[in-house]
Structure 1
Amino acid sequence: MYTLYHHSFCPHSRFIRLVLGEYGLDLTLVDERPWDRREAFLALNPAGTTPVLLTDGFPPIPGAGIIAEYIDETHGPEMGDRRLLPVAMAERIEVRRLMAWFNEKFFEEASGPLVTERIYKRFMSEEVGGGAPAMDVIRAATANVRYHLAYIGWLARTRNFLAGDRLTYADLVAAAHLSAIDYLGDVPWSEDDAAKAWYARVKSRPSFRPLLSEWLAGVPASRTYVDLDF
């Protein structure tokens, strides 16, 4: 049994939820608002960021990348062809490269600013940066989504999945970040049919259903968010 401290629209948390869902692992979710910087949460992860995974017999496991590596080391070998981090070194390097692309570059340039400005700041006090969204930040991040989507489209046109022939962490991490901003209607799906078709395949998987069922009070989901045939 795992316990995951997360925020529903934290892209990194969504990635780990998809991973655990694909592996069919039991999970208890604990909602965390990282901007509150609760002492109990900081004791688990002094960086104060989500996600953090708890499991018996181990210290708290902080951060999407570390959690993903832990899950692969503890459960990957038994999954056979369903292993989300491949065995071959060249394939592992490519999956890790794309994990870094989305968890770092895409998050910094697109999903992080959009989620912060359009979701998190609604619930943050002014003392910790809450208030009206910064429209210049939103415009820049929305523009950045376009070139990332074009890159996803290129990968989807040249491969069966983003990192190769089968589903890997690369697909789940990309889809997790996209899902958070697709809720807001900030993904221009009409601009790249290959990226759209790839995302439709991934979000149709059973592991995605819990994410698509979550709604944010006062912020309606976009038309494409729950539509599997968008």
Structure 2
Amino acid sequence: MNVDIWSDIACPWCFIGKRRFEKALAAFPFKDQVTVTWHSFQLDPSLPEHYDGTELEYLSQRKGMQPAQVAQMFDHVTQVAAAEGLDYDFANIVVANSFPGHELIHLSAARGPAGAADAVKEALLSAHFEQGRNIGNREVLVEIGSAAGLAEEDITAALDGGTYRDAVRADIRQAQVLGIQGVPFFVLDNKYGISGAQPSELFAQALETAWRESNPLVMVGDRTHTDELNGEVCGPDGC
């Protein structure tokens, strides 16, 4: 079964959604047969490479919200994140354009070892929301990519040459075609869409539903299919 996830590195609910989905997937009996693919999405493509200001200042200016309202939002999201084992630090977030990070995720999926894309996604989210690191900084990207098993020269060449820029843009266009306007957004087997950082229980139900539809149970020995294989069974009313 395939699960496609659109998300942005600079999205606090995307990290929370990742944790909640992972919790559901870890308990899913057929988790080893589930392929997860990360897709790029940018909440603010217009962000410059470097922004001189805090996350609070950026959101206040970008969304026209009062600073006190933004601070209240930060407190709420921080509490929700903490319940998922995440330690958000909005005061030290470095506001940066996430596009190079998305390029790195595509590179890790194409050239890295198994699990590299998820490891890079995880590291970028943690660097941004928990560690106060600049996810647009080349040294940070090289460090994260190298830790996930990528060769430093491959990272540098891909980012310098824009090898995966078209792939990032293609993801964003596909999101538009699918009508995705917010992230995280999960698509299970190209049939079921889940918007937002939903509770783990909902993800678990969706995984079960999608799996059953793709892998219907074949009843061998059911007398409704053949009168020759009529094995006896016990039910609620007796045997």
Assess same fold via TM > 0.5: no
Normalising by structure 1, report the TM-score: 0.26
Normalising by structure 2, report the TM-score: 0.26
> As a proportion of its length, which structure holds more helix?
1
Flag the structure with more relative contact order, 1 or 2, with Cα contacts below 8 A and sequence separation at least 6.
2
